[in-house]
Amino acid sequence: MTDTIFALASGAGRAAIAVLRLSGAGCGTVLQRLAGPLPQPRMASLRRLRAPASGEVLDEALVLWFPGPRSYTGEDSAELHLHGGRAVLEGVSAALLDCGARPAEPGEFTRRAFLNNRLDLTAAEGIADLIDAETAAQRRQALRQAGGALAERYAGWATRLTRLLAHQEAAIEFAEDGLPNSLEDEMRAAAAALAAEIRRHLDDGGRGERLREGLWAAILGAPNAGKSSLLNALAGREAAIVSATAGTTRDVVEVRLELGGVPVLLADTAGLRETADEIEAEGVRRARRRAEEADLVIAVFAADVPPDAGTLAMAAPGTVVVANKADLAPAPAEIGGVAPLAVSARSGEGLDALREALAAAATARAGLSAEAGLTRPRHRAALTEAAAWLDEAVAAPLPELASEALRAAVRSLGRLTGRVGVEDVLDVVFGDFCIGK
């Protein structure tokens, strides 16, 4: 990590301002060759940037200097706030190359921050999520994780585990030195309590992962129930073809929505019915598969037609049931034991109430919880493994086997924050970052 890297940290394309970030041991030297004497730390200084070889003025820019370790990466770092024209960026980038700097790899700034103990892996992932956040709820979850909420909880568990391991090792090594006989019983009780605490954390219904990735929702119902019209009404645009001809929708049509701060991929599907048409039958098969995969199902039937058996089967607790075409006939009081929402996609009647119901359902499945939760499958896998090893420690017939199980649990927790056994996850974590981060 002795080389100096640089990358565009602002958006690509023509703009008033473009920001180039630099980091590395030679950052100060590079900056001096380009802009003259180093400015006061963390104070913007207006400088003329010159090409080192020719002395040509490349731009008049604001220069900021962040000497390590008080920088994002923990290394000497700098920012060049340039005019955003392509020629300026190309000229300054060429000058940086002449000075010995190189373009950064994706996520390399944050990777250096991790390696310099400025943050742990969960915080690094929170920063990546913050960059990708599309909704306010995603932003809040990412900020909480980037601020160290998960790291604090996991570090507490790791500290307790390490203490348990130390006591267990002491009980083995100094068994003849008069240590209390209750040490091993205390270890087993504490290990069981920690395993239960981890499992309570795991038993969150996948809310954090769903909020981060977004929910899958599917609109299902009989042909001509008005599913496509409802999708268009919720999307606010003509996303799906609407026709009085039954069976018009034969494939899955998707739109992205935000419901209660949760990103949702809403799918219109083919009408559910038995058909001899090969293409329509494939559409029905895909509709049923999407229903099986969906986090949220919206069962739609036409208020002016008696519900068919297929719609009745979908009207179960947890499903949002909609009586569409309420402008043509009143909705029944209940269907399949569930009170339907009376809606008219044509007139707009009941759409606000439907949006509120969908937002409530989305936040119930993936809303921001009061505590920092799991946001990635790798978190869940490591914690599940740690809890299993704690169970092994509790049930171990020999002290030595209990000690090995505790040591394995420590390694599992360590992989979460990146302080133990991290080599195999670094590339995965930082490879998803954008270039300038």
Tokens of 287: 């509709």
Residue 309 has pLDDT above 60, yes or no: yes
What pLDDT is stored for residue 250 in this prediction? 45
Answer yes or no: is 412 a known binding residue.
no
Answer yes or no: is 84 a known binding residue.
no
Answer yes or no: is 169 a known binding residue.
no
Answer yes or no: is 228 a known binding residue.
yes
The mean pLDDT of 284-311, rounded to a whole number, is 75
Task: Encode pLDDT of 371-381 as tens digits.
Answer: 778 888 999 99
Closest CA to 10 of 62, 76, 60: 62
At 64 the three-state DSSP class reads strand
**Does residue 210 contact residue 425 with C-beta atoms inside 8 Å?**
no
- Report, in this order, helix, strand and coil percent for the chain, each rounded to 5: 45, 15, 35
What pLDDT is stored for residue 322 in this prediction? 86
Average pLDDT over the chain, rounded to an integer: 83
What pLDDT is stored for residue 175 in this prediction? 57
Q: Could you tell me the end-to-end alpha-carbon distance of the chain, in angstroms, rounded to an integer?
A: 16
Q: Which domains does the chain show, CATH number per domain? A: 5-104 (3.30.1360.120), 121-204+374-431 (1.20.120.430), 211-366 (3.40.50.300)
Answer yes or no: is 159 a known binding residue.
no
Task: Encode pLDDT of 369-418 as tens digits.
Answer: 767 788 889 999 999 999 999 999 999 998 889 889 998 998 999 888 87
- Tell me how far apart the alpha carbons of residues 97 and 255 are, in angstroms, rounded to a whole number: 44
What pLDDT is stored for residue 247 in this prediction? 46
Higher pLDDT, 432 or 135: 135
Task: Encode pLDDT of 330-380 as tens digits.
Answer: 877 777 677 788 888 888 888 899 899 998 988 888 877 767 788 889 999
Answer yes or no: is 181 a known binding residue.
no
Answer yes or no: is 196 a known binding residue.
no
Answer yes or no: is 437 a known binding residue.
yes
Residue 245 has pLDDT above 50, yes or no: no
Answer yes or no: is 238 a known binding residue.
no
Answer yes or no: is 227 a known binding residue.
yes
Answer yes or no: is 278 a known binding residue.
no
**Does residue 120 contact residue 158 with C-beta atoms inside 8 Å?**
no
Answer yes or no: is 347 a known binding residue.
no
Confidence class for position 246, pLDDT limits 50, 70, 90: very low
Task: Encode pLDDT of 47-83 as tens digits.
Answer: 999 999 899 999 999 999 999 999 999 999 999 999 9
Segment holding 22, helix H or strand E: strand 15-23
Answer yes or no: is 375 a known binding residue.
no
Answer yes or no: is 226 a known binding residue.
yes
Answer yes or no: is 367 a known binding residue.
no
Task: Encode pLDDT of 182-227 as tens digits.
Answer: 777 888 899 999 999 999 999 988 888 888 888 888 888 877 778 8
